[in-house]
Amino acid sequence: MGTRLHVLHVTTAKELGLLADTPLNEDKRITAEVCIPHLLFTSSDYSALGPFIKCNPAIKDVFDKEALRSAVNSGLIDVIATDHAPHLLGDKEGGALKAASGMPMVQFSLLSMLKLVDEGVFSIEKIVEKMCHAPAKIYTIYNRGYIRTGYQADLVVIKPAANWRLTSKDILSKCKWSPVEGEIFNYQIEKTFVNGCLVYSDRQLINKNHRGQELKFRIRN
């Protein structure tokens, strides 16, 4: 039949048993993704972060986190996604039963993954593959996901910046909080380009009126 299926929000080692670690190409019909929070946190972090890391599906234990990390490296997991959900602080109040699910992840997604690179969990090439190349391949997004002649220049420039602590003043999201606030990083985002336009530089948003473009998709054979 040839139907394709992309599985979102894989969070457990048990789910991984249903996936295949075949290379990502036209013949791979079932693909899967993991969200960044499930690569960073475990259930033991609830004692410190509480409802701020409440999400659906829930954060699991360290066994599942390590299995997910291994699956990214082996090819069982094809994509690393953000699951960006920038709830206001007031929406995260009320404990586990009342707090909204989800957390803001877009701004510090790359920094969080680079921290795992520093820790030896992933290679930087693996991060580029799972966050840039693979989404473009799976969804056949036209002229994006790679640095190539004729492709849209969606680029991030990073620079080494040893041992700096993320504080609330670094957060540009209107929600004004992050689950990784207080973490130590060894890189900073120097510049961000969207469609070739500089939109972020020196820790400030610029060209705020610049907007993205409608995605185009290739037709599969």
- What amino acid positions are annotated as catalytic residues? 83
Assess contact for 79 and 113: CB atoms under 8 A: no
Tokens matching residue 114: 């680079």
Q: Which residues of 9-42 are buried (b: 16+ CB within 10 A; e: fewer)?
A: ebbbbebbeebeeeebeeebeebbbbbbbbbbbb
Contact 132, 145 (CB under 8 A): yes
Q: C-alpha angle 11/130/28, rounded to 5°?
A: 85
Spatial separation of the C-alpha atoms in residues 132 and 81, rounded to whole Å:
10
Cis peptide before 57 (omega within 30 of 0): yes
Q: Please list, in sequence order, all residues whose beta carbon lies within 8 angstroms of the beta carbon of residue 50, skipping any fewer than 6 positions away.
A: 95, 96
Looking at the chain, how many residues does it have?
A: 221
For residue 124, give the H/E element and its range. helix 124-128
31 has which bridge partners?
6
